[in-house]
Amino acid sequence: MNTAREAQHYSLILLGKFFEHLHVDVIVKLLYDITCQLHWSCLKWGSLKPYMTHTTFAISIFHAFSHQWPCQIVYHLWKTLGYGLSDSEGAEQLWHSFSCLIAYRQIAG
């Protein structure tokens, strides 16, 4: 991989396969740390073109402040329709709720 476009190839292929398994009316909210680059690549090169009308792109709160100011304005989670005032940590909270089901093995030497 020599260019950013090639590095995004895996994300685009994964999303394409994901969309193949969804009904055409499903709205997808894509939360990704470099979604600004991915979104612009999709617009520029026509990747995921059939799915772009029902896909929104946003950057999680944690990653938003490391982006340039224009990216923060366009892709900030709180400024993107449909996300509300989420902090995008829902998945981490879900995994934490499952932690009681995991048997921890601590071996001290």
Phi, psi of 5, rounded to the nearest 5 degrees = -60, -45
Residue 2 has pLDDT above 60, yes or no: no
* Residues 90-108: tens digit of each pLDDT: 666 666 777 777 766 666 5
pTM (two decimals): 0.66
- Residue 30, classed as helix, strand or coil, is strand
Angle at 63 between CA 84 and CA 69, to 5 degrees: 85
* Residues 42-94: tens digit of each pLDDT: 999 998 999 999 998 888 766 666 667 777 778 877 777 777 666 556 666 66
Q: Where are the domains of the chain?
A: 4-101
Tell me the C-alpha distance between 25 and 20, whole Å.
12
Residue 39 has pLDDT above 50, yes or no: yes
Q: How many CB atoms lie within 10 A of CB 89?
A: 12
